[in-house]
Chains A and B, each alone.
Chain A
Amino acid sequence: MPPSLITAPERPAQAVEPPAGRSNRRRRRSMSLTGWAYAAPTALFVLIFFIVPIAIVARMSVSDWGLFTGNRGLNAPENFTDVVDNRLFWPAVGFTVKYTVVTTVILIGLSLGLALIVQESNRWNGFLRTSFLVPSALGLASASLLFYAIYSPQSSPLGFLGVSFLGTPNAALWSTVALIVWRFAGFYMLLLLVGLQGISGDVYEAARLDGAGRWQTFRYVTLPLLRPSLALCTILCLTGSMLAFDQFYLLTKGGPDNSTITVVQLIYNMAFFGGNNLGRAAALSIILLAALLVVNVLQFRGLRDREG
C-alpha cells in the first residue's frame, strides 16, 4: 500500500543518498547546507510572519493589553483566569465541540459517499465531480454571504418552506452545517477519491474471488485501505471546525441567545466586540492552540499505533 499522505512528516527523507565513501561526512554536511538553502525562504516566511506574531500573541496573553491602549505591563495569569471565568467560555467550548463533531461526521460521511459514487471515470461521473467541486472555488466569506441571502426571509428562494433558518439554536446550527457541507464536501471527496484510486485493482479482484459481496468488500477492503486518506480528511476537518468563525460571524453572530457562539467568535468578541481586550483574546487563542495541538498529536499517535 502506498505510504499515506498523513504520515509524510514522520517519514525519513528519501534523500538522494550520496555514494558511500570517505567523503561521506563532508557530503552529508554539504547536503544539509543545500537543504537549508532550499528551505530558507520557507523558514524566513515562517519566522517573520508566523513565529514573531505568535510570540507577540504569547506576550499579549500574559499582559494587560487593551485594544486601544496597548501594553500596560505583565499581569499573568489574570487573562487566563478571566477567560475561563467568562460567562460565555464554557457554552462556547461546548458549542464548538458539538459543531465540530456534527460537521466532521456529516462531512466525512457524505464526502466518502460522493467519492464512491464518482469513483469510476466516465463522462457522467466527470459532470458529477465538477458539480460537487465547484462550490470549493468560492471563498468561505462569499459562500456565507450567499447562504445569508438564501436564509434571509427577505430574499430566500426557500420561503415557501415556511421555516426560520436561523431563528432557533438547532435551526441555526443545521443551517450553518449545510453551508459548510456544501462548501467543503467536494474538496474532501477529492481527497478521498485520491485514496480510493490508490487502492490497486488486484485487491478488489482478490476480494471478488474470495466471494466477498459489495458491502463486505467496502467494509473489509476499501475502508481499511482508505484509512490514511480518511485520517487526513478528519484532521483537516477537525482543525477547520474548531477554528470556525466566518460562517457564524456572517450568519448568526452567535445568536440566537448565544447558542451558536464558537471559541474563535468569543476571541473576536473579546478583542473587538466590546471586550477591547487583546490580552484576554490572546490568552484564549493560546488555550485554543494548545487544544488543537493536543487533538492533532492524539490523531497522529492513534494513526501510527494502528498502522504500526
Chain B
Amino acid sequence: MFRTPQRILAGGLAILFLFPLAWASVASVSPQPGSAQIDGWGFGNYRTLAAYQAGIGQYLLNSTAVSLMTVALTLAVSLFGGYAFANFRFPGRNVLFLVTLAILMVPYATLLIPLYVLLNQLGLQDSLLGLSLVLTMFQLPFAIFMMRISFEAVPKELAESALVDGCGSFRALFHIQLPAVKPGLITVGLFAFLAAWNDFITPLVLISDSAKMPLPLAVANMRQQVMGIVDYGATEAGVVVLALPCILLFLALQRHYVRGFMSGALKG
C-alpha cells in the first residue's frame, strides 16, 4: 500500500506536538527583554530560578516529598480498593464505587475551602502530608477504576487456585495477584506522580509556609515579580524544569504504562 502521504501527515503532526516543548526549551536559554537573559544565549533564567527565595533545591525537595507520599498513598489505597471491588461482594459496594468516581465531577476550587478547614481540624494545616492526603483523594477515581479493571482482568483460575491452595485472601493478593496487576499499579503510580508534581491550586490554598511550597507555586510567584510584567524567561525555564522529570519518568515507564491500560481492556 502507498503510505507516503500518511507518513508525511503523521510526521507533521508529531512535529506539531513536539514543537511547544522544543520551543520552550530553546526560548528559556535565548535572549529576551524583561527576563534575566537579556543579551546572548545562556542560563540566566535558570540561575534566577535556582536562586529564587528558598532556593530551587528546597522546592524540588518539597515537590519530591509530596509526589512520593501521594504515589505511595494512592498505590496502597487503590491496590486494596481495586482488589475489594473486583473480587468481593459487599453491601454498599456499588455506591462506594460510584461515589469515588463522582470525585471527578466536583469543581476543584469549591472543595478547597472545606478541605482547608478540615485539615486544620486534623492538625495537618500547612503540612506536606496533609497536602498529599488531599492530592491522593483527587487521584482516587482514576486509580480505583484502573485497579479494579486490572484485578478483574486477572484470570479467574489464577485467583481460584490460590484459594484452593489454602492461601488467605491477603496472601493471594500479594503472592498471586500482585505480579499480574503490576502494569496497572505502574500506570496509577505514574499518574499520581504527574498530578502531585504539577498541581498548583491545592498547595496554593493549603500551604502557607514558604519553606514548604512545592515548585509550581514558586514558578507562579516568579512569573510576576513586578506588577504588570510577566517574566517570560523565568516562566519558560520554570515550565522546562517542571516538565523535565515528568517527561523522563514518562519515557522510562512508557512501556509498562501502556501495558497497564492494555491489560485491563484486553483480557477483561
Which A residues fall within an 8 A CB radius of B? 2-5, 8-9, 11-16, 28, 31-43, 45-46, 48-54, 56-57, 60, 114, 117-118, 124, 127-142, 145-150, 152, 154-155, 157, 182, 185-186, 190-191, 193-195, 197-198, 229, 236, 239, 243, 245-246, 263-264, 267-268, 271, 278, 281-282, 285, 288-289, 292-293, 296
Task: Say whether, besides A41-B80, A141-B198, A264-B109, A14 and B156 are in contact (CB < 8 Å).
Answer: yes
Chain A residue numbers with a CB within 8 Å of B7 are 124
- State the B residues within 8 Å of A (CB): 6-7, 9-11, 13-15, 17-18, 20-21, 23-24, 27, 32, 34, 76-78, 80-81, 83-91, 93-94, 96-111, 113-115, 117-118, 133-134, 136-137, 140, 144-145, 148-149, 152, 156, 159-160, 163, 169, 194-195, 197-201, 216, 219-220, 223, 230, 232, 235-236, 238-239, 242-243, 246-247, 249-251, 254, 258, 261-262, 264-268
Whether B149 pairs with A39 at a CB distance below 8 angstroms is no
**Complex A-B, nearest 3 residue pairs according to Cβ-Cβ distance, in ascending order:** A139-B198, A35-B88, A38-B84
> Within 8 Å CB of A31, what residues of B?
88-90
Instruction: Report the Cα distance A134→B16, complex, angstroms.
Output: 12
Collect the chain A residues with CB atoms within 8 Å of residue B97's CB.
Answer: 9
Summarize A's interface: helix, strand, loop or mixed.
helix
Contact (Cβ within 8 A) A140 B117: no
Q: Which residue of chain A has the shortest Cβ distance to B117 in the bound complex?
A: A56
Min distance, Cβ A24 to any Cβ of chain B, angstroms? 13
* Contact among B20, B115, B156, B254 with A49 in the assembled complex (CB-CB below 8 Å): B115
What's the dominant secondary structure at chain B's contact region? helix
B17 CB to closest chain A CB (Å) equals 5
Partner of A186, one of B17, B102, B266: B17
Knowing A14-B87, A124-B7, A282-B110, the reply to whether A198 touches B265 (Cβ < 8 A) is yes
Beyond A8-B148, A9-B101, 13 additional contacts (C-beta under 8 Å) are A3-B268, A8-B145, A16-B87, A35-B89, A39-B84, A50-B106, A54-B111, A131-B18, A133-B254, A154-B34, A245-B107, A271-B110, A285-B110
Who on chain B is nearest to A126 by CB? B254
Query: Do A42 and B267 touch across chains, with their CB atoms under 8 A apart?
Result: no
* Contact indicator A117/B6 (Cβ below 8 Å): yes
**Contact between chains at A16 and B156 (CB < 8 Å):** yes
Which one of A12, A36, A138 lies within 8 Å of B243 (CB-CB)?
A: A138
